[in-house]
Amino acid sequence: MQALKLSHVSKTYSNGVKALDDVTIEIQPGMFGLLGPNGAGKSTLMRTIATLQEPDSGELFLGDINILEDKMALRKVLGYLPQDFGVYPKLSAEKLLHYFAQLKGIQSKQERQKIVDFALEVTNLYEVKNKSVAGYSGGMKQRFGIAQLLLNDPHLIIVDEPTAGLDPAERHRFLNVLRDIGTDHIVILSTHIVDDVKELCTDMAVLNGGKLLNHNKPIEAINELKGKIWNKIIDKEELEAHTTKFDVINRKYNQDHSLNIKVYSDTRPDESFENIEPDLSDVYFVSLKQNENEMSNA
């Protein structure tokens, strides 16, 4: 299995928004998490990799495929589940998958049935294959989206904000489906939900303002923050003073209306802070905070 390589990819929209700013990264087979807030440039990057829009500059390769020069070669091995995945006709999942398989050029009915059955099994939809997809729940529709993109055995799978709006049980089922297919493909999971990446991904990056801020394995990124995350409970009236004085990366209200604040610092900010074990959300917020500080000092 070959890697996906992006070199110096940039994109500025006509309104002046720099959606991608010199993005260079290599993504190996497995589950890759792209974390970033809304408006960070994640969807622009996903659409660019999926050949739905052109960058202003840069190069993109999947193995030997030059993505910008041979879009059809990339599309043949691509599975793409966008953030808003369409309205379905009132057809059963099985019939709709047969239809999509024919569109993808699989003419043999016997071969089509084998591929459709496989896609339904992998996505845990086989038992409801005769039910209309239009009547599926949100999580089932997302799993159907994965089923249809598996029909051409893609090398590269892109899923953009797939768990937004799903209830906890549907989210769990959907993530299990991604986990099952992630070992044999490059799967890029674009999300602003840190827990999705924590549960699934062996590699990750943080994107904000079109810039790639942190590319690392989740466990290594967490280990780099050991001894640098500090916690303190304060009254909410103290927040402004603490924000001014310290690098506050996160805050959370307690039931008694006090605040838990987390501060990033190489050393203990003062005696009132306790050192705590970092987690992946700290990696995310530290990356965003450092980017914010760089922007304000520029």
Same domain, 246 and 185: no
The pLDDT score that the predictor gives to residue 1 is: 65
Rounded Cα distance, 60 and 63, in Å: 10
Same domain, 73 and 206: yes
The pLDDT score that the predictor gives to residue 103 is: 79
Task: Report the 10 Å Cβ neighbour count for 155.
Answer: 20
* Residue that the structure tokens 């705590």 belong to: 276
Same domain, 189 and 255: no
Q: Are strands 57-62 and 156-160 parallel, antiparallel or unpaired?
A: unpaired
Same domain, 151 and 235: no
- Of 215, 248, 268, the domain-final residue: 215
The pLDDT score that the predictor gives to residue 102 is: 86
Same domain, 105 and 248: no
Q: Which CATH number fits the domain that encloses residue 66?
A: 3.40.50.300
Q: What pLDDT tens digit does each residue of the chain (298 aa) get?
A: 689 999 999 999 999 999 999 999 999 999 999 999 988 999 999 999 999 999 999 999 999 999 999 999 998 899 888 876 666 678 899 999 998 888 777 888 999 999 999 999 988 899 999 999 988 988 888 889 889 888 888 999 999 888 878 888 888 888 888 888 887 789 999 998 898 898 889 999 999 999 999 999 999 999 999 999 999 999 989 999 999 999 999 999 988 889 999 999 999 999 999 999 999 999 999 999 998 888 777 6
Rounded Cα distance, 71 and 51, in Å: 6
The pLDDT score that the predictor gives to residue 176 is: 86
The pLDDT score that the predictor gives to residue 230 is: 97
The pLDDT score that the predictor gives to residue 81 is: 85
* Residue that the structure tokens 């660019």 belong to: 48
- Of 180, 215, 250, the domain-final residue: 215
Same domain, 9 and 94: yes
Rounded Cα distance, 39 and 44, in Å: 9
Same domain, 10 and 139: yes
Rounded Cα distance, 264 and 46, in Å: 31
**Tokens at residue 298, please?**
């520029």
- Of 191, 215, 239, the domain-final residue: 215
Range 245-248 contact pairs with CB under 8 angstroms and sequence separation of 24 or more: 245/269, 247/289, 247/293
The pLDDT score that the predictor gives to residue 67 is: 97
Same domain, 197 and 275: no
Task: Report the 10 Å Cβ neighbour count for 229.
Answer: 23
Same domain, 206 and 232: no
State the pTM of this model: 0.86
Domain residues for 285?
223-297
The pLDDT score that the predictor gives to residue 60 is: 98
Structural domain count of the chain: 2
Same domain, 146 and 227: no
The pLDDT score that the predictor gives to residue 38 is: 86
Same domain, 50 and 151: yes
* Residue that the structure tokens 């990750």 belong to: 204
Rounded Cα distance, 108 and 117, in Å: 14
Same domain, 105 and 201: yes
